[in-house]
């Protein structure tokens, strides 16, 4: 199982947010939403890689019907990943807690 400590801050369900709290770092709500969505995509990719790596341990060339139904450990791993907070909730929580690094190349000063 992955390290649960990185998932403990995020809620498991959607909660109402004050949109004014989202633009404190960027001064632009839409830029904040883009940053959160890009981070959510990164988190989703990481979780998918972890899950696929764990499920590959159970892969076999010759699965019979009994093995498919009897593999409780594989089912438990899948249920665990399904119960984690959604990547969007994790990314929003990280953003609000200043745990996301981002930069805007358009706003950076060119070196002289």
Q: Is residue 103 part of a domain?
A: no
Number of structural domains the chain divides into:
1
pLDDT in the model for residue 2: 45
Q: Is residue 1 part of a domain?
A: no
Q: Is residue 69 part of a domain?
A: yes
Q: Which domain holds residue 33?
A: 24-96
In tens, the pLDDT along 30-75 reads: 999 999 999 999 999 999 999 888 888 776 666 566 555 557 788 8
Nearest to 24 by CA among 14, 35, 13: 35
- Ranges 46-50, 55-59, 79-83, 97-101: which has the least confidence: 55-59
Q: Is residue 13 part of a domain?
A: no
Q: Enter the pTM of the model.
A: 0.74
Q: Is residue 10 part of a domain?
A: no
Q: Is residue 48 part of a domain?
A: yes
Q: What is the DSSP letter of 111?
A: P
Q: Is residue 14 part of a domain?
A: no
């Amino acid at each position: 199982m992955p390290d649960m400590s990185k998932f403990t801050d995020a809620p498991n369900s959607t909660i109402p947010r004050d949109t004014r709290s989202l633009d404190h770092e960027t001064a632009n709500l839409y830029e904040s939403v883009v940053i959160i969505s890009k981070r959510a995509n990164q988190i989703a990719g990481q979780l998918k890689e972890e899950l696929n790596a764990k499920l590959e341990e159970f892969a076999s060339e010759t699965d019979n019907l009994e093995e498919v139904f009897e593999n409780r450990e594989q089912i438990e791993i899948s249920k665990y990943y399904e119960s984690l907070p959604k990547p969007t909730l994790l990314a929003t929580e990280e953003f609000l807690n200043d745990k996301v690094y981002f930069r805007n190349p358009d706003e950076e000063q060119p070196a002289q």
